[in-house]
Amino acid sequence: MKPTLQAVADAVGVSRSTVSNAYSRPDQLSAALRERILGAARQLGYPGPNPTARSLRRGFVGSIGVLFTSQLSYAFTDPFAVRFLAGVGEAAERHGTSMLLVPLSRAEPDARRAVENAAVDGFCVYCVADEEWALEVIRARGLPYVSTAARDDAGLDERFVGIDERAAARSVATHVAGLGHRRVALLADSVLPDAPAGPLALSGVDQVPHPTTHGRLAGFADAFADVGVGWAELTLVNAPDNSRQAAAAAVAGLFDRPTPPTAVLAGSDVLALGVLDVLAERPAGNRPPVSVTGFDDVPEAASAGLTTVRQPAEEKGRIAAELLLDPPADAAAGHVLLPTALVVRTSTGPVPRS
């Protein structure tokens, strides 16, 4: 049997409290006794207070959870997510906190259980789509959280770090519209929860439930509305998840249509890179001159020459963790909007006249 704190107390001949103090409040006992206790503990092979028991009694755990909508393995496939995690990790590390990665599996009962059972002091909600129930569970547990995807109904009491998705998306779309493009495809991930890969007809952008996706698509649409291209004239393409493969599958066939789009605006760099993959695969002679844009400005975007919108990934993660671990007294300071920048590279160009 593993020795308990009681066993150490018995061995030394002091009370449990004193042994506990030896570990957690060294100033509460004499240095000599403390040494004697730690020595006995070493000898008995006592590994220190049991973390679970300790957190039960103390009421906090010393780790924060990061909630992902998607599978855990996707989180590591998406460079933006990785950089976000790095930021969270950096801040957590500074606070002596570890991070628990909690994936939300597709099956809601399981996913719900994961949120209910996570032993954490709070959550960074990386990307919860319409999983409003997850936030409810967190609130019911009385845990603080920071979300990164704004929702319209989010109260100001809710801590948040993110960008103005709509304005950022509009900026890159305005650039594309300015190049003369009018036949345009918008590519996004999880436009509707279980939609298949490929073109998707939607009466309006407000049908899109995921706030981030909604914001970006709405921003794209805004820019084209400005130049007289309505929603109905835009081709909406759905990718079942945020990966190059999914994007490639979604746009396959798009360029063989009678009137193919001259530009594809993607909701993320990963999707945009998937579009570039598809184009690169075609024989050079049969490669349509399509402009492609991304979103995020992940490291790969630079080498691919992708025009995109930069948002500060690590900083987003860092601030999210910071808002959680060291909440500002002022409620308004709990709502952080980060800057974005349009980055024009070689993947966009003037519409070819033909």
> Where on the chain is the footprint of a second copy (CB under 8 A)?
2, 45-56, 61-63, 65, 71-73, 75-77, 82-83, 85-86, 89-90, 92-93, 96, 98-103, 105, 110, 114, 116-119, 137, 140-142, 303
**43-64 exposure pattern, b = at least 16 Cβ within 10 A, e = fewer:** ebebeebeeeebbeeeeebebb
16 binds, among a second copy, DNA, none (CB under 5 to 8 A by kind): DNA
Question: In the set 39, 42, 43, 53, which binds DNA (CB under 7 A)?
Answer: 53
CB atoms within 10 A of CB 7: 18
**Residue found under tokens 């009421």:** 59
Rg over alpha carbons for the chain, rounded to the nearest Å, is 26
Backbone φ, ψ for residue 116 (5° rounding):
-65, -35
Question: Residue 24, interface with DNA (CB under 7 A)?
Answer: yes
**Nearest to a second copy of 62, 180 (CB atom):** 62
Taking CB under 7 A as the rule, which mask of x and - marks residues 29-48 in contact with DNA? xx--x--------------x
**Nearest to a second copy of 6, 207 (CB atom):** 6
Question: Residue 207, interface with DNA (CB under 7 A)?
Answer: no
Question: Residue 18, interface with DNA (CB under 7 A)?
Answer: yes
5 binds, among a second copy, DNA, none (CB under 5 to 8 A by kind): DNA
21 binds, among DNA, a second copy, none (CB under 5 to 8 A by kind): DNA
Question: Residue 57, interface with DNA (CB under 7 A)?
Answer: yes
Question: Could you tell me if 274 and 197 are in contact, meaning their C-beta atoms sit under 8 angstroms apart?
Answer: no
3-state secondary structure of 107: coil
CA distances from 141 to 80, 97, 206 (A): 29, 20, 31
Which positions touch DNA (CB under 7 A)? Answer: 2, 4-6, 13-21, 23-25, 27-30, 33, 48-50, 53-54, 56-59
